Structure 1
Amino acid sequence: MAIAELAVETRTESGKGFARKLRSEGRIPVVRYGRQCPVTQYTVECVVIDKFLQESGASGLVALDVDGAGQNDELLSIIKDIQRDPVSGRVIHLDFYGVRYGESIQVEIPLVFEGKAIGVAEGGLLQPIRRSLVAKCLPREIPENIAIDVTALGIGDSIHISDLDIDGVEFDVSVDFTIVTVQTIAQEEEVAVDDDELSADETETETEAEAEDTGAAPAE
């Protein structure tokens, strides 16, 4: 995986008031921490981080360029957390986790489903259960995504996490999660009907309970 570079500036101030001031100036606070890594605080321009996330994504390796000193492999990191404004969706804070080349780390890797399942041609519906997987690997071996070929899946077939075998990448298979399956349309409709019936039963039960509390008869 290629290492992306991000230009940041050192900051010494912190707190909500300072964070608001930064955002009013078109910047956001950034923090970096990790095993054997001191907690370090930075700032980055909003336009820079927006472009960075659009071009490089949030799951790869990042080398920080601090105060214009150039890319520093000693500051190799992954994005640990992105906080966004609940209204605008704009990034308002970033957490970086410091990593070392020789130490395995836990990362979330997006899934890409390839091919057209046989079961879909037979009238089934491809149903992805997971869009990403948590895996453990060395920083240099983090894949940009995991491609899963669904071509051979017939109706009722599934791919589980235990079916994956990727060099240098370890998955937790203690719980053998289903990743993707092919269902019949009838199965989908049955699930929808069951959900509707359950909602109706819950509503009726709640109405009767409310009537008992108030002494009124349930509405018909």
Structure 2
Amino acid sequence: MEAAVRATRRGTGKAAAKACRRAGLVPAVVYGKSIEPMAISLDQEGVKELLRHSRAHVHNLVVEEPPFEGSVMVQDVRYDPMTGKVLHIDLHKISMTDKVKTEVAVEVKGEESLEKRGFLLQRQAREVTVECLPNDIPAVFEIDVANLQPGESITAGDLAIPKSVRLVTSPAEVLVVALAPKSVEQEAEEAGEEASADEGKPESDR
């Protein structure tokens, strides 16, 4: 069974959050329609557990004094732009009997085989949004691009979506496109030609 993420309650406000960080902890807030926002602090082990999974993962959160236990999902993570350290985490309390909307990653298989055939892969989306019960959230969606021909694409509607899951993303949204190297070169040449043409025009014509 997966270990619970443990936390302690803390004061609210910027001063409390700073004190939390000075102690080597990470401030977090738990939100949910059935609870008041709850300020908590997480140790580094708890942070690692939350971040080693995708945001579609459901965690069991246990908070001390006064006690609280519930299912949560990571809603947002704020990082220090200079050091990359985690500054703050927002958690969303969910009910296991209520449907949730979340993003699920799209994993590509067969890209190496595609490249060996002399083609390139252009990724246009790395995740899709779905709605379902928490226990039905797919860990990941896989797509195989090994046999794609130049110009062929895979859309969100091509994914193998379980019956218990509703695709929120438009089925027409393109996830990947196979390209021939010529296509890439032509695009670069055309962009260069357009830039040269613009340089030759008077300012009033641009």
Q: Same fold (TM over 0.5)?
A: yes
Residue matched to 1:7: 6
- The 2-side partners of 1:76 and 1:49 are apart by 14
Residues 21 and 197 of structure 1: CA distance in aligned 2, closer, same or farther (over 3 Å): farther
Residue matched to 1:171: 167
3-state DSSP class of the match of 2:142?
strand
Q: CA deviation at 1:195?
A: 3.9
- The 2-side partners of 1:204 and 1:84 are apart by 45
Query: Is 1:78 the counterpart of 2:73 in the alignment?
Result: yes
Q: CA deviation at 1:37?
A: 3.0
Residue matched to 1:27: 25
Q: CA deviation at 1:84?
A: 0.5
Structure having the higher Rg: 1
Q: Is the Cα–Cα contact under 8 Å of residues 7 and 68 in structure 1 kept in the other structure?
A: no
Q: Tell me the C-alpha RMSD between the 2 structures.
A: 2.8
Query: Is 1:88 the counterpart of 2:83 in the alignment?
Result: yes
Query: Is 1:190 the counterpart of 2:186 in the alignment?
Result: yes
Residue matched to 2:39: 41
- The 2-side partners of 1:68 and 1:6 are apart by 15
Q: CA deviation at 1:18?
A: 1.9
- 1:139 pairs, out of 134, 140, 150, with 134
Residues 8 and 151 of structure 1: CA distance in aligned 2, closer, same or farther (over 3 Å): same
Residues matched between the structures, number: 203
Query: Is 1:66 the counterpart of 2:63 in the alignment?
Result: yes
Q: Is the Cα–Cα contact under 8 Å of residues 118 and 154 in structure 1 kept in the other structure?
A: no
Tell me the alpha carbon deviations over residues 132-185 of structure 1, each in whole angstroms, 9 at most, x when there is no partner. Answer: 111111100112211112233112111111112321222135461101110111
Query: Is 1:113 the counterpart of 2:111 in the alignment?
Result: no
- 1:154 pairs, out of 144, 149, 152, with 149
- The 2-side partners of 1:91 and 1:110 are apart by 22
3-state DSSP class of the match of 1:88?
coil
Residues 195 and 44 of structure 1: CA distance in aligned 2, closer, same or farther (over 3 Å): farther
- The 1-side partners of 2:18 and 2:72 are apart by 25
Question: What TM-score results when the alignment is normalised by the length of structure 2?
Answer: 0.84
Question: What TM-score results when the alignment is normalised by the length of structure 1?
Answer: 0.79
- The 1-side partners of 2:96 and 2:82 are apart by 38
Q: CA deviation at 1:98?
A: 1.1
- The 1-side partners of 2:67 and 2:122 are apart by 45
3-state DSSP class of the match of 2:37?
strand
- The 2-side partners of 1:203 and 1:90 are apart by 44
Identity %: 25
Query: Is 1:180 the counterpart of 2:176 in the alignment?
Result: yes
Query: Amino acid of the residue matched to residue 125 of structure 1?
Result: L
3-state DSSP class of the match of 2:48?
helix
3-state DSSP class of the match of 1:95?
strand
Structure 1: runs of 5+ lacking an equivalent: 210-220
3-state DSSP class of the match of 1:56?
coil
